[in-house]
Amino acid sequence: MILVLSKSISPHDREMIRIYLHDRGFAIREQQLGNEVIIGATGKGVVDLRELGLLPGVERVAATAKPYELVSRETKPEDTIVTVGPVKIGGARISVIAGPCAVESKAQIMETAARVRESGAVMLRGGAYKPRTSPYAFQGLGMEGLEYMKAAGETYGMPIVTEVVSPELAVHMKDLTDMFQIGARNMQNFELLKKVGALGKPVLLKRGPSATIEEWLLSAEYLLASGTRDVVLCERGIRTFETYTRNTLDISAIPVVKSLAHLPVIVDPSHAVGIRAKVSPVALAAIAAGADGLTVEVHPHPDEALSDGPQSLYPEQFERLLRDIEAMAPVVGKELLRIPRPQTGLGEAVQPSVFVQQGAAGKVAFSGESGAYAEQALIRAFGEEASRLSVSSFSAVFDAVLDGSAVAGVVPVENSLAGSIHENYDLFLRYPDIGIVGELKLRIVHCLIAQAGATLESIRTVRSHPQGFAQCREFLLQHPSWQMETYANTATAVASIAREGVAPQGTLPRVAAIAGEAAAKEFGLHILKSGIETNPLNYTRFVIIARKIGDTAPVPPSLGSDKPNKASLVFSVSDTPGALFTCLQIVSEKDINISKLESRPIQGKPWRYLFYVDVNIPKTPGVFEAAMEALRSQTKDFRVLGSYHAPQGG
């Protein structure tokens, strides 16, 4: 049984609740879970739940059907997001942890950290203490190895996670690690779980090779009950009759556990298969199944590794895996997490900006109401904790960024089915002090949404944004009698139905809206039909905008500090034969790929056009800059709208 306490409860009322439960035969433990203070009451005591709910300071009472009360979704329906330094595990992000199986030397862990950080890992893993089957195998460097690992993490701006193998060592390791790992062999070492939980640090809990899901979740319960709030579950394969792979990845455990527990779930594909060539396919399958992240073994020289070399990826393989995950992420409704690089002098660091100065307090603007697709894109880019500013139109997003009401904005510029959103391309011309600092692609799954009780036959009017209608054209053609009403955005269309209230008694609702599932949940409406878009390959490209400082716009820390790989340009050319060809030839000769070329009429100048161009920035230093200077000399009204990092695969 769980009691959620009121945030304003007095110390006296809290103590009276404890006495009340103790006198009725319950064992009591108090726990901070997310933003809520709860009391877990276990044992054979008997109490009337209605009477308990009336006690001063009790907000609600939940009698859980699961033995793992603190872990259960019955206690906490929303997902927990675990914070480890700048890293958020869970929610709309995919977090990737990488490093060697064991720390072998300072040089080895430094080289590995540099390589995995460059590829996109956000945390560094590695064993200082290695529980091995054979007493003669390499057991790790102990505290010396942990100190090497801590130094590597600080140098490259990554929190570290390492395995703890005994309660005694946990205390000594506390200040040197950012996250404890409980290995598969120790999943049911209950004294270790209690000790580590009491230290209050985040914990990565691996599933035992022969453990059931319930046993795994009960081990997590030990950690939460002992004091820690942040636990990440790690599926790493179970022991079956199959001998070809090291273990058998129980991929079904990912959706099962996520339905039972509110804790984030990641996967260790390295231990799951034990074969280097199979790690990446299994990792991608885990992401497709809903995993919140991965922990992957990477070694700069796997053939020389002292532990688990055959399952460790080469850095080049890891880089390719991260690119594949980045391309897959929008399909599963997530974004690959990036974090800023530290100011170390060892490489390019995130540039100082208004984002750094204002930190998390800075608002990010989007057009629409809660539940809008733009808000979902905002969450992917900046995280669930981002402070949001809802405005009424796309131009209002630009206004908010320009006047400082928001430090950044999120606007759509292109849809894979309906094409460019020209209004926003034109806004870049009206706001020359605004630049593009990032992009992401959001998969758009449209739903027909109405009040409860509505049917397809009862609907007479459908509301949405014009893009929503365009993307669901074939579905709408099946209902030619429906009248279309245009709204500023899809979420506002849903909100309008909610505000009109339920249909009069005896009549069925006659108005529906086309929007996403999030909007239906936000306004408490019913989904009549899901997936009504004409083509399931329906993606909208959103760009993140910020106010320029000098000639460039600052990069938000939430986007990390990846070197720009894409740029958006706009220019016009003289009305002479071959003028545009000359511009394209400049780009071609520099071996720069054009990913988009589109013309737009120049307002006030009939039959004159601006060209919007997206190009991929070469890795070779100086090539892009030289091409831009050459283009500037051959064009009119030349502007770089932004140089930014775009996810691979699009």
Q: Report the distance separating Cα 102 and Cα 596, nearest Å.
A: 46
Q: Report the distance separating Cα 384 and Cα 378, nearest Å.
A: 9
Q: Which residues pair with 41 in a beta bridge?
A: 28
Amino acid identity, position 141: L
Q: Report the distance separating Cα 201 and Cα 311, nearest Å.
A: 29
Q: Report the distance separating Cα 214 and Cα 229, nearest Å.
A: 19
Active site residue 542: yes
> Residue 69 to residues 207, 217, 262: CA-CA distances in angstroms?
19, 10, 11
Sign (positive/negative) of CA torsion 256, 259, 260, 264? positive
Count of CB atoms situated within 10 Å of the CB of 603: 11
DSSP 561-593: TPPP-EEEEEEE--SSTTHHHHHHHHHHHTTPP
Name the maximum alpha-carbon separation found in the chain: 93
Burial environment of residue 523 by CB neighbours within 10 A (0 to 12, 13 to 18, 19 or more): buried
Residue with tokens 């770089």: 640
The four Cα atoms 281, 287, 289, 295 give a dihedral, to 10 degrees, of: 90
Q: Report the distance separating Cα 82 and Cα 80, nearest Å.
A: 6
The b/e string for 478-502 (b: 16+ C-beta within 10 A; e otherwise) is: eeeeeeeeebbbbbbbbbbbbeeee
Sign (positive/negative) of CA torsion 340, 342, 343, 345? negative
Q: What angle do CA 518, 520, 524 make, to 5 degrees?
A: 120
Q: Report the distance separating Cα 547 and Cα 400, nearest Å.
A: 10
The token duo for 320 is: 């390719």
Q: Which residues contact 47 (CB under 8 A, 6 or more apart)?
A: 1, 21, 24, 26
The token duo for 417 is: 């089915």
Q: Report the distance separating Cα 25 and Cα 43, nearest Å.
A: 7
> Which of 428, 540, 611, 624 is the catalytic position?
540
> Which of 318, 475, 542, 611 is the catalytic position?
542
Residue with tokens 């820690």: 228
Helices (H) and strands (E) in the chain, counts: 21, 30
* Contact (CB, 8 A) for 75 and 69: yes
Residue with tokens 């230093």: 621
Question: Is 146 strand, coil or helix?
Answer: helix
Active site residue 638: no
Count of CB atoms situated within 10 Å of the CB of 393: 14
Question: Is 365 strand, coil or helix?
Answer: strand
Burial environment of residue 13 by CB neighbours within 10 A (0 to 12, 13 to 18, 19 or more): middle
Give backbone dihedrals phi and psi of 427, rounded to 5 degrees, phi first. -65, -30
Q: Report the distance separating Cα 3 and Cα 52, nearest Å.
A: 9
The token duo for 138 is: 């390499």
Q: Which residues pair with 400 in a beta bridge?
A: none
- Which pairing describes strands 93-99 and 82-84: parallel, antiparallel, or unpaired? unpaired
Catalytic residues: 540, 542
